């Protein structure tokens, strides 16, 4: 594959073949707790996509320009978390002030995202896989969209489940985890589509 | 080795410092909403720093809105009427509000942030609500599952309440709860006893507060409460009084009766107390004493399932049946009820049959 197209391959791979939620099982806590309503799931998913795309790019810059020159790669866990937390906080303050519509749609989810492990996960994968800046950005964007796709599919299924008869003891998180497992298996069907290292 | 340690520490410090600086700048510019003016009941005016939730803004002005979850937006108790300046409803408020709340401009005050001038309405009585630091003076068993807890007020040292009102008891973090929670309990002490708050707390299996009080609370321990709240209190009229209570519903009725006795009230009063068997009865001697002290008061305990060993000679049957049997008609009476929702609903029905007007039936339902 030519180099110019590589970021796009990563982008699609992150959505389908290596979905961060369904293949790596990251970002599980908010996935399980928020996936009860389609509308809130969409809001959270969009917020995750936005934050993931931007923080992956930001963390790439911090990693390449600060951590590598000082040989401090091992500090990436702490530094990435600080960057993500500060970014989320800043964005929340800004949109709360300037856009009520955006705040109502995304802002209330932002505090939930600070501790979403999928976002830190995306930044860490970017380092392990040695992505370039562009690839990192598209990887973050794709991972976020993949997460959005998974949580919305889950919310759709759970809305249906509300009227279904679920065995005692499996209600709530129990059945949700089983469904997440099925969805992960279903996504394996995309496997041959794109393969990236 | 040492220099690499130095480098890593300084890099982390610099990154954090840079981000912290950004936050401080943002806080002072983007997050700075300046001052706002809150008008309460078209009368009281507060100038406050904007940008914080209404609940905590009011709290720092010493106005306490009842709240059970501590501002996390999960209990929905901190409702406040916002006439002007509230803006649109937040998605976090809507699940906690009924349609009629929205029609009445009710907002969830822990979610709504003060961003501009506002005009709000809150019940006058909330102005007298305070936070009290107290010490447990004594704990004793009233029955096998009800404890009497007396709290000595430390700061402020006295409370001004009406007989029948309740306070909120703060349960600190412990095994059953990972955050402080508040539970409401009626005061059993007389309003004249201003330096003590007496509570009657019945053990509910797995109840967060009741388990705490029954199994963890010790004499001498510090407890925070806030209050007084509630519109269940003795009305100043000449009507006859019918009190009906069950279990720890004794508390506010006891306060009401003590208040009447102290003030030398000449009103006719009947107190029906429902219990299952003799082991659920308590404070019988105190009530008999009040019968002597007061002009025209009778305590009528009734057992629904008296045991053979109780040797019970008093009234038996459900409390509603006993009331029906002993009160023939009472169109001029006032009723005070305290107990479980089921008991109260049944009592209201019986009292209506006896001719007690709806507007003269006051009650405090255990939620």
CB contact (8 A) between residue A72 and residue B8 = yes
The 10s digit of each residue's pLDDT in B189-216 is 999 999 999 999 999 988 889 999 999 9
pLDDT at B154 over 60: yes
* DSSP code string of B162-187: -TT-EEEEEEPSBTTBSS-EEEEEE-
Give me the CATH topology for the region B129-229.
Elongation Factor Tu (Ef-tu); domain 3 (2.40.30)
Give the number of other CB atoms < 10 A from CB of residue B329: 10
* Numbered ranges of CATH 2.40.30.10 in chain B: 129-229
φ, ψ (nearest 5 deg) of residue B263: -85, 0
Å between A177 CA and nearest CA of chain B: 25
pTM above 0.80, yes or no: no
Comparing CB atoms, the residue among B8, B23, B92 nearest residue A89 is B23
The 10s digit of each residue's pLDDT in B4-13 is 888 889 989 9
Q: Give the end-to-end CA distance of chain B in Å, rounded to a whole number.
A: 64
Instruction: Count Cβ–Cβ pairs < 8 Å, chain A vs chain B.
Output: 49
pLDDT band of A197, cuts 50, 70, 90: low
Q: Give the end-to-end CA distance of chain A in Å, rounded to a whole number.
A: 12
* Numbered ranges of CATH 3.40.50.80 in chain B: 240-365
CB contact (8 A) between residue B12 and residue A108 = no
The confidence score (pLDDT) of residue B367 equals 61
Comparing CB atoms, the residue among B8, B30, B92 nearest residue A97 is B30
The 10s digit of each residue's pLDDT in A117-166 is 899 999 999 999 999 999 999 999 999 999 999 999 999 999 888 888 88
Mean pLDDT of chain B: 90
Give the number of other CB atoms < 10 A from CB of residue A123: 27
The confidence score (pLDDT) of residue B180 equals 78
* Numbered ranges of CATH 3.10.20.30 in chain B: 35-126
The 10s digit of each residue's pLDDT in B73-92 is 777 888 899 998 888 888 88
pLDDT band of B276, cuts 50, 70, 90: very high
Counting Cα atoms < 13 Å in the Cβ hemisphere of A34 gives 26
Of B293, A18, B302, the residue nearest A9 (C-alpha): A18
Which residue, among A43, A62, A69, A97, would best test binding to B if mutated, counting the most B CBs under 10 Å from its CB?
A97
Hey, which residues 67-86 in chain A have their CB within 8 Å of chain B? 67, 70-72, 75, 78-79, 82-83, 86
pLDDT at A195 over 80: no
Sequence-ordered list of residues with C-beta below 8 angstroms from that of B151, at least 6 positions apart, any chain: B134, B135, B136, B137, B196, B197, B198, B199, B223, B225
Superfamily in which the B35-126 domain is placed by CATH: Beta-grasp domain (3.10.20.30)
Decide which of A171 and A67 is more confident.
A67
pLDDT at A172 over 60: yes
* Window from B144-153, B232-241, B358-367 with minimum mean pLDDT: B358-367
Å between B47 CA and nearest CA of chain A: 21
| CATH number 3.40.50.80 given to B240-365 | yes
% of chain A beyond a pLDDT of 90:
47
Complex ipTM: 0.80
CB contact (8 A) between residue A66 and residue B31 = no
pLDDT at A41 over 80: yes
The 10s digit of each residue's pLDDT in B300-334 is 999 999 998 989 989 999 999 999 998 878 888 99
B116: closest chain A residue by CA: A97
* DSSP code string of B222-239: EEEEEEEE-S-S---SSS
Comparing CB atoms, the residue among B26, B31, B91 nearest residue A104 is B91
């Amino acid at each position: 594959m030519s180099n110019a197209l590589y970021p796009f391959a990563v982008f699609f791979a992150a959505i389908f073949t290596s979905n961060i939620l369904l293949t790596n099982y990251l970002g599980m806590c908010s996935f399980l707790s928020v996936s009860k309503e389609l509308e809130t799931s969409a809001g959270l998913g969009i917020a995750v996509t936005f934050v993931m795309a931007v923080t992956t790019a930001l963390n790439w810059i911090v990693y390449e320009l600060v951590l590598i020159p000082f040989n401090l790669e091992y500090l990436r866990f702490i530094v990435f978390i600080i960057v993500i937390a500060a970014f989320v906080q800043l964005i929340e303050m800004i949109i709360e002030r300037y856009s009520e519509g955006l705040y109502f749609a995304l802002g209330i989810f932002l505090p939930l995202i600070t501790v979403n492990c999928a976002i830190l996960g995306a930044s860490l994968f970017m380092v392990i896989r040695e992505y370039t800046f562009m690839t990192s950005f598209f990887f973050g964007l794709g991972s976020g969209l993949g997460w959005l796709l998974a949580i919305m599919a889950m919310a759709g299924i759970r809305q249906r489940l509300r009227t279904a008869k679920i065995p005692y003891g499996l209600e709530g998180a129990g059945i949700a985890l089983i469904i997440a497992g099925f969805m992960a298996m279903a996504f394996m069907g995309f496997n041959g589509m794109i393969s990236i290292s | 080795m040492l220099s690499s340690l130095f480098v890593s520490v300084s890099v982390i410090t610099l990154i954090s410092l840079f981000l912290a600086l950004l936050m401080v700048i943002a806080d002072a510019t983007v997050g700075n909403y300046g001052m706002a003016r809150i008008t309460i009941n078209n009368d009281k005016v507060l100038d406050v720093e904007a940008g914080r939730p209404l609940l905590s803004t009011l709290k720092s002005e010493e106005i306490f809105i009842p709240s059970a979850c501590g501002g996390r937006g999960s209990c929905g108790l901190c409702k406040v009427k916002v006439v002007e300046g509230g803006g649109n409803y937040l998605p976090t408020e809507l699940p906690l509000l009924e349609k009629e709340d929205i029609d009445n401009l009710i907002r969830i005050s822990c979610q709504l942030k003060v961003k501009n001038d506002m005009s709000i309405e809150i019940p006058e009585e909330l102005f007298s609500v305070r936070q009290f630091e107290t010490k447990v003076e004594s704990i004793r068993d009233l029955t096998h599952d009800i404890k009497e807890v007396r709290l000595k007020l430390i700061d402020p040292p006295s409370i001004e309440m009406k007989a029948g009102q309740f306070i909120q008891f703060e349960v600190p973090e412990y095994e059953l709860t990972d955050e402080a929670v508040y539970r409401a309990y009626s005061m059993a002490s007389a309003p004249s006893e201003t330096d003590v708050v007496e509570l009657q707390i019945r053990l509910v299996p797995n109840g967060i507060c009741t388990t705490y009080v029954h199994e963890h609370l010790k004499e001498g321990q510090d407890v925070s409460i806030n209050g007084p709240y509630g519109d269940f209190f003795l009305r100043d009229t000449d009507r006859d009084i019918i009190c009906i209570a069950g279990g720890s519903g004794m508390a506010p009725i006891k306060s009401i009766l003590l208040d009447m006795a102290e003030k030398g009230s000449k009103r006719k009063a009947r107190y029906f107390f429902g219990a299952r068997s003799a082991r659920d009865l308590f404070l019988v001697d105190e009530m008999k004493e009040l019968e002597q002290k007061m002009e025209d008061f009778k305590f009528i305990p009734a057992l629904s399932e008296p045991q053979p060993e109780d040797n019970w000679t008093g009234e038996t049957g459900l409390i509603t049946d006993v009331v029906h049997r002993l009160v023939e008609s009472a169109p001029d009476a006032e009723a005070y009820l305290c107990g479980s929702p089921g008991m109260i609903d049944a009592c209201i029905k019986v009292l209506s049959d006896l001719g007690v007007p709806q507007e003269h039936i006051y009650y405090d339902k255990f939620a």
